[in-house]
Structure 1
């Protein structure tokens, strides 16, 4: 049997339901437990986004050697995309993709990856094909097609 420290957080204004946090370190202060939980949440979000968009923990990673070989590379790719888009946010004009039923307050990794894809594809593929006239705007159908491809999993 392991002793567990319980921390109950209640919101005096009633904006949220009470929440319970558990910790096996019975000497930890409530503040320490909550800080550790908030740091853990950022890590969980990173792993979930890497799973969803880069293939971490998919069928390709069913053997231990595959996990040891690919996971560091995929998490490195996650970091490179996040850092590049953050450093060039103003130039890339990153904004969250919104739907009428789901207003996102901030951009996610999916938005960052799609924006980086769009930037690279328009800069290196769409605008450099053949002998096209660079003064003509890209047709709306081509823009929509590229936009859809940017968000493809």
Structure 2
């Protein structure tokens, strides 16, 4: 068994203790294994907050076994759809706060939601040419308001 003590000399972070029961692990392997979990933890937190992971109302084991994999698929699908959005799209929504440096899952799901509503709700009718679309500023205001509602 290997115990690792990490002390931040700057004092900004708390001291941490880690251990490993895996034979052959050295100190850097233990730290890397801990840091590598960060992406997994963030994914689960985003899924809990935005997709309702672990809130299944069903009590049967098979209900959970059906719903949870679908939510993981939905998380992956939203990330894929976000990566396929047009670069120059004006409807990209990025909520900013102090210290935020990158796009978050909430930005991605909001932008995908806005794009899908823009394409499917406000597309130009092909049959009725007399139908007038909403003016662009009104349309954008509606889409922005709807996309931010969770």
TM range (shorter): 0.7 to 0.9
Correspondence for 2:137? 138
Task: Please identify, of 20-29 and 32-41, the stretch whose mean Cα deviation from structure 2 is larger.
Answer: 20-29
Unaligned runs of 5+ in 2: none
Candidates 29, 33, 37, aligned match of 2:34: 37
Query: Residue 125 in 1 paired to residue 121 in 2?
Result: yes
Cα RMSD, aligned residues only? 2.7
Moved more, 5-14 or 45-54: 5-14
TM-score by length of 2: 0.78
Classify 1:104/1:95 alpha carbon distance in 2 versus 1 (closer, same or farther; 3 Å): farther
Select the structure that is richer in helix.
Answer: 1
TM-score when normalising by structure 1: 0.76
Contact 2:7 2:16 in 1 (8 A): yes
What are the ranges of 5 or more consecutive residues in structure 1 without an aligned counterpart? none
CA contact under 8 A between 2:93 and 2:110: conserved in structure 1?
no
Q: CA shift at 1:120, angstroms?
A: 0.9
- C-alpha spacing 1:103/1:132, structure 2 compared with 1 (3 Å): farther
